[in-house]
Structure 1
């Protein structure tokens, strides 16, 4: 027996040694190890010495902080009962305050703000660097909330019950320890909770069990209503509270894009017969709303990929097939978001990457009417009132700052509440939309924002932003930081709508999944080549920027086509695609990228994985990598190891790791201003000087 134990120990040590030989920088994945943090400190110091020493750094940083702390910003409203709640950060409230005002005073333009919770004071009191991650109120009076607090900005939160009347946390109230979990109200004394109940989480780091928890009992003793599997992506339970009924739902996500829905009815779990890739969009007028990710023949209907349909709740639970079509987008349009008021379903659509807003009413069938909202830009839905037809929406584009509108969904009318002031002279610039042909002939749209007097001589500093993943659409957005730190300095900004995103619905996204990932990167290269062919820019003046999956995008960009770019900002990135599924939430993304532990899937992943493809003797640009120590979604080890490997191979790189901020990379306006200033100074150095 002793010999067997010794043999197993020896084999384990050999396996560890083999891994270390394959990847000598595994130690950098130990986030808070003294050796790792010492390495981070040295790289931060080296990078900051160069970038903050640039003569323009101070002025750009000061302009950034002025923008982030400006009192002219829109106080984003969230309707809760007869009040508007808002989270606000400025120079005096670095971690922010949660405040409220009456709807009447808010709409009059002079909100009478009352601070509900001060996160700077709370952080000092508890000795934590809290980041507010939202709060869910108890319908219909909203006298109590479940407040989500992140320690340092990560996805993991502590959930605490808060009395909104007394403006204090409830003594001995509901408290869910730190985890990537959630909780929602069933009633004042009952919660639906998804968290780590002491039995562990899924391999993706998310809950695998849902319980119903009664007040004045221990969380561990709560009633278990559903338990999934360790290899599920995650299990979440939540409630939808309406006047007629509180619906109780559970979603079992077997992957990022597939799973099952369950409803708790009369104390029993009911699982409707649905496609595993269908997406539940809400419950309205006793109708359950779904979006389809693939074609579906059900009953007498044949629905298409991208359609939105509805069915009566009672019919759904009986496995009925009386689905009703709400919307059927065409090849160049898609549904971006929905919201509901008392009587109206609001639908925000994209048509060739430009927003259109529609209202739908239900009287046995769905009646559609287009709202005459601002055109040629990006509409986003804000908060809506369940007790009336009041709602808020925003409009912006590259050259029009965000404007908040208050709408009446029933009449389709709206009024302007407030516009963000412009921080740069937008009248000097123009926006054009072009298309580039990818290598398979697919037309890839992209926007170019430039000075009206730009000369097509190939000498214009140009920055491409893109994402290309997870069905996320990248839309025209006003950025005061980009305007002042880039456009006003003589730069051009490009937004590329490559495949993998959601600009044209599920089909556009699914075209770049797994073994087809290279299509996304080919689209990306096609846009760069088109910019060069049009003499808008040239490789020595062309830079790229991306974060998260966009960080992977730019990582592939400079390793596959270093000839195209002279600057790369690679933020909170995935880069080691051999180990991504073993780091933090990485296992949840295998439906997007594939499983590197399956040999045939690693065959296509390894062809683009930046960490495995960086080589000696190449003419790579001097990349600027950024990440956050407290990012608990995309592991900071990706960026750390890439920097270590490139440095070993003799390449000059820049690296900055913020000590907090989570996947957003920053928690306070000061941190946001600093990171943005570092990025744009780097871009100026590489593309303008």
Structure 2
């Protein structure tokens, strides 16, 4: 049986902090916020930092993030006049010509004022191929739970008497104009319709005008699953495939087709990612070695084309080398766009089936700049077009238009520099971890940097869930850190996806100490080379990266003088019973398994805090509305520090969900607090002595 958080902890953590919106807990939060504001916001630099970030967030010269929808381009735009955003549309040709003619379809700020709700727009699910009607997703304050409401793109209005699905963690897709396939909390007793992770596992068919309690059940998973949800895939020829995804664990999935005869399981590996439908075939990547029935072995990390009916054998589209990994995949009307990491440097490729499809696939690398990150923005199933975002640590974002029909790419928009990068250079170096593994990391620094250990440096990483840390442009950090002489370091530690599934596996579960060792090895390498020293080195991470920061704070307090711990997991003995924690057992392990329990207890930052240890003063931030990780981790950790008499700074935003912040003023406030903290700890003339 899993342990529940103690009602009255002997370690000085008040039990009331677990009541997320309880009056005592919120009073404690206000007290901590006031202390952080007095210490940081009172600094004369705060206002300049705030204005610098706000200028980035509200800059009208930002590149609008495009989405193909209903034969047009859609975009959610936020600025000083629209902090919640306007959902707007433009014709494709004027957008590609970098002169879009926008028309507002939904003003989220006006809707929030009208309904007196803290609405955050989270996208729309539309009926293909015409993309009418749609279900607009609205979240209260940015939490994962959302309300779904039917919306007509043509009129720009919610449909009177249309589908309305009240607040829940939920997913819904269109079967036809009058029928939805929905997974949500159906109102079962004591959350009986939700998994232990807090997500739905019962899928029902809901007809127009029908009450939720009359919807017909189509499929159910188990309460021990992470989630069960429906999806609809469409290809450029109009074929539709209705699937139900059963996430047995965070990394193991089963897919079934919805047919007139009922739900039919598809023979696929359990560790995979589905990307789309092309010529009636599923395009997916496999995260495990797989030998399909009657087929040839497929190596882990490969991109594959699969006939969902099983009538034809799978085709391998691409298998990466040991130094490569498939990063992102998008399916257009006639091809596949793939972004690859090659030694953690971004590339983009177009893959097309050979004539007739029997002779395999042809791949062509698109000519894009090196030492950059390349991301898929969106792809059009009606054509061969796809948008790509290209940027680097010191190179502002560029929007490129790829064409899988012509197998070409061209730049259509480029953002002007948003911070002074003159004299900055980017290096890639390698550290040696405890077990001898070479760990790559990027360093952004001034060309004339002296290797005397006196440079203020900020080191960050993620190290989990097969997510990669790449050379992205960060104008906020550029203005507040790099342009002011700070060194910026991004470590590509194990647990991520930089070198494919094996890189992730090496740091998963009870092997996670390798992740922590990799990060510390990069810090020591920076110090060995004279890039920085412990008195001038700070670290920052969010979510799983927040866990990383908490572990490094407790395992190696002597290596750094500033630690920023954002929306973190920190109580690893109880994480499974907190918010959506049960969904991450596949990543971290379970307290119900003896060897995993021992490991979680050993690395849990909350448990590892000790009296008499010389810890650096951390800055901890979270959000009251985070319904994914939850604020209780951060609260308990801060309260334990308080009981030990260890100084800390704590900020809890009352909005924002797991992102922490949802609009420009909130982002500017939180980033400015961080910048003052880093200036105090790392940049001011007389930093505390090295411990």
User: Same fold judged by TM-score > 0.5?
Assistant: yes
Aligned residues between the structures: 671
What is the CA-CA distance between 1:427 and the residue it aligns to?
A: 2.9
Residue 321 (structure 2) aligned to one of 327, 330, 343: 330
Aligned equivalent of 2:30: 41
1:156-179: per-residue Cα shift (whole Å, max 9, x none)? Answer: 110110111221111111111111
Aligned equivalent of 1:250: 244
What is the CA-CA distance between 1:467 and the residue it aligns to?
A: 0.3
Aligned equivalent of 2:502: 507
Q: How does 1:164-313 map to 2 (within 5 A)?
A: 164-199=153-188, 200-242=193-235, 243-298=237-292, 299-313=294-308
Structure-2 separation of matches of 1:66 and 1:389: 36
Higher mean C-alpha deviation, range 210-219 or range 543-552: 210-219
Residue 75 (structure 1) aligned to one of 64, 67, 78: 64
Structure-2 separation of matches of 1:508 and 1:401: 29
Q: Please state whether the residue corresponding to 1:104 is helix, strand or coil.
A: helix
Matched, 1:85 2:41: no
Q: How does 1:118-133 map to 2 (within 5 A)?
A: 118-133=107-122
Q: How does 1:633-648 map to 2 (within 5 A)?
A: 633-648=628-643
Aligned equivalent of 1:448: 443
Residue 332 (structure 2) aligned to one of 341, 353, 367: 341
1:366-425: per-residue Cα shift (whole Å, max 9, x none)? Answer: 121111222221111122221111221110000100001122221122222211111222
Aligned equivalent of 1:439: 434
What is the CA-CA distance between 1:531 and the residue it aligns to?
A: 0.2
Structure-2 separation of matches of 1:266 and 1:23: 59
Distance 1:332 1:16, change over 3 A: closer
Higher mean C-alpha deviation, range 603-612 or range 354-363: 354-363
Q: How does 1:135-150 map to 2 (within 5 A)?
A: 135-150=124-139
What is the CA-CA distance between 1:79 and the residue it aligns to?
A: 1.2
For the Cα contact (< 8 Å) 2:12–2:643, is it kept in 1?
A: no
Residue 163 (structure 1) aligned to one of 152, 167, 170: 152
Residue 429 (structure 1) aligned to one of 406, 424, 428: 424
Residue 31 (structure 1) aligned to one of 20, 26, 40: 20
Matched, 1:351 2:342: yes
Q: Please state whether the residue corresponding to 1:683 is helix, strand or coil.
A: helix
Higher mean C-alpha deviation, range 328-337 or range 411-420: 411-420
Q: Structure 1: 5+ residue runs without aligned partners?
A: 1-14
Matched, 1:524 2:489: no
Matched, 1:360 2:316: no
Aligned equivalent of 1:95: 84
Distance 1:23 1:253, change over 3 A: farther
For the Cα contact (< 8 Å) 2:275–2:331, is it kept in 1?
A: no
Q: How does 1:469-484 map to 2 (within 5 A)?
A: 469-484=464-479
For the Cα contact (< 8 Å) 1:256–1:591, is it kept in 2?
A: yes
What is the CA-CA distance between 1:198 and the residue it aligns to?
A: 1.3
What is the CA-CA distance between 1:683 and the residue it aligns to?
A: 0.5
Q: Please state whether the residue corresponding to 1:595 is helix, strand or coil.
A: coil
For the Cα contact (< 8 Å) 2:136–2:150, is it kept in 1?
A: yes
Q: Please state whether the residue corresponding to 1:647 is helix, strand or coil.
A: helix
For the Cα contact (< 8 Å) 1:186–1:246, is it kept in 2?
A: no
Q: Say what the alpha-carbon RMSD is for the aligned residues.
A: 1.5
For the Cα contact (< 8 Å) 1:568–1:621, is it kept in 2?
A: yes
Structure-2 separation of matches of 1:289 and 1:379: 20
Aligned equivalent of 2:689: none
Q: Please state whether the residue corresponding to 2:317 is helix, strand or coil.
A: strand
For the Cα contact (< 8 Å) 2:170–2:200, is it kept in 1?
A: yes
1:230-260: per-residue Cα shift (whole Å, max 9, x none)? Answer: 1111111111133432211011111101131
For the Cα contact (< 8 Å) 2:195–2:224, is it kept in 1?
A: yes
Distance 1:83 1:190, change over 3 A: same
What is the CA-CA distance between 1:224 and the residue it aligns to?
A: 0.9
For the Cα contact (< 8 Å) 2:352–2:404, is it kept in 1?
A: no
Structure-1 separation of matches of 2:545 and 2:250: 18
What is the CA-CA distance between 1:218 and the residue it aligns to?
A: 1.5
Distance 1:19 1:510, change over 3 A: farther
For the Cα contact (< 8 Å) 2:8–2:14, is it kept in 1?
A: no
For the Cα contact (< 8 Å) 2:641–2:648, is it kept in 1?
A: yes
Distance 1:81 1:567, change over 3 A: same
1:179-229: per-residue Cα shift (whole Å, max 9, x none)? Answer: 111111122111111111112300100001111211121122112110111
Aligned equivalent of 1:573: 568
1:20-57: per-residue Cα shift (whole Å, max 9, x none)? Answer: 44674332010100000000001101110110111111
Residue 103 (structure 2) aligned to one of 108, 114, 117: 114
1:49-87: per-residue Cα shift (whole Å, max 9, x none)? Answer: 110111111111111101110011001111113311000
For the Cα contact (< 8 Å) 2:283–2:305, is it kept in 1?
A: yes
Q: How does 1:650-661 map to 2 (within 5 A)?
A: 650-661=645-656
What is the CA-CA distance between 1:278 and the residue it aligns to?
A: 3.0
1:451-510: per-residue Cα shift (whole Å, max 9, x none)? Answer: 111100000000001000000001001111111100121110000000000001110001
Could you state the TM-score of these two structures normalised by the residue count of structure 2?
0.95
Structure-1 separation of matches of 2:277 and 2:197: 28
For the Cα contact (< 8 Å) 2:366–2:409, is it kept in 1?
A: no
Structure-2 separation of matches of 1:340 and 1:275: 20
Residue 385 (structure 1) aligned to one of 359, 380, 389: 380
Structure-2 separation of matches of 1:190 and 1:648: 56
Matched, 1:134 2:129: no
Aligned equivalent of 2:688: none
What is the CA-CA distance between 1:146 and the residue it aligns to?
A: 0.8
1:103-144: per-residue Cα shift (whole Å, max 9, x none)? Answer: 122122221111111111111111111111111222222232
